[in-house]
Structure 1
Amino acid sequence: MSVEYVKTEDDLPPVAVVEKPRWTPAKIVLWVVIALIAGAGWSMIAFVRGEELSASWFVAAAVG
């Protein structure tokens, strides 16, 4: 995480700290895996119920 110090004057200590969160490759991979597992879960629900996979299931997976 990147940190930026906010100063009012150079000879005084910082008055605030602004944290800038970063997307690391590990975080991106983690969220992609979570999304794929969630999508597979919604697909399994549709198959178990005997329904076809349709756009409405993908919308439900994206929202839910």
Structure 2
Amino acid sequence: MSFDRSETHWFKSSYSGGSQDCVEVAFIEGDVVGVRDSKDRSGPALSFSSAAWDMFTLSARSGRFDRP
């Protein structure tokens, strides 16, 4: 799926603390969530359905991806 990133509002988590080593997220029209590397803003971006993004963020918050 492709989308026009020139008009998209990208943001980083407030937990990033101003670090440049982060991902940026955008909520895009049509129920799409974009994700890109903050160090390469003109590079590729991934896109997910909002349902898939919600499942990912819920899993991350629950600790499912934490290392033992």
TM-score (structure 2 length as normaliser): 0.26
Larger Rg over CA atoms: 1
Report which of the two has the higher share of helix.
1
TM-score (structure 1 length as normaliser): 0.27
